[in-house]
Amino acid sequence: MTEIPEDLVYSEEHEWIKVDEGKIRYGITDFAQEELGDIVYVELPEEGEKVGKGDMVGVIESVKAVSDLYVPVSGKIVEVNADLEAEPELLNEDPYGDGWIAVVEISDESEVESLLSPKEYEEVAK
């Protein structure tokens, strides 16, 4: 069964979001990594890049498919998980831990309110 931690919020694009004092850390959900299969390459967003909610900021490539990577809120990318460049399989092995993608400084806090609760995301991830 797909893991959906209760302490996170989610996007309809299958990203998890951890909100922390004006910033978010995000990655792809357990459901997303299961659907993709073995991930072999990740193109990360650029640190310092200003982004809008829903912007495409990178690519995830698996043995099955290539999937665009979106950002769940507007703001500025302040940190990326460079470990994913050498170890893209972290997205499969630990999507909610070592497999995080980026940290974004939020420019519009109200966008967080439009994200999905774990229960709402459960309906999307069926």
Q: For the domain that residue 56 is a member of, what is the CATH number?
A: 2.40.50.100
pLDDT of residue 53: 96
Number of domains in the chain: 1
Query: Residue 124 above 90 pLDDT?
Result: yes
Query: Residue 15 above 90 pLDDT?
Result: yes
| Residue 126: pLDDT band with limits 50, 70, 90 | confident
What is the pTM (predicted TM-score) of this model? 0.95
User: Measured between alpha carbons, how far is 8 from 16 in angstroms, rounded to an integer?
Assistant: 6
pLDDT of residue 111: 96
pLDDT of residue 1: 75
- For residue 73, what are the domain limits? 32-111
Token digits of residue 11: 């996007």
Q: How many CB atoms lie within 10 A of CB 77?
A: 20
pLDDT 10s digits, 26-40: 999 999 999 999 999
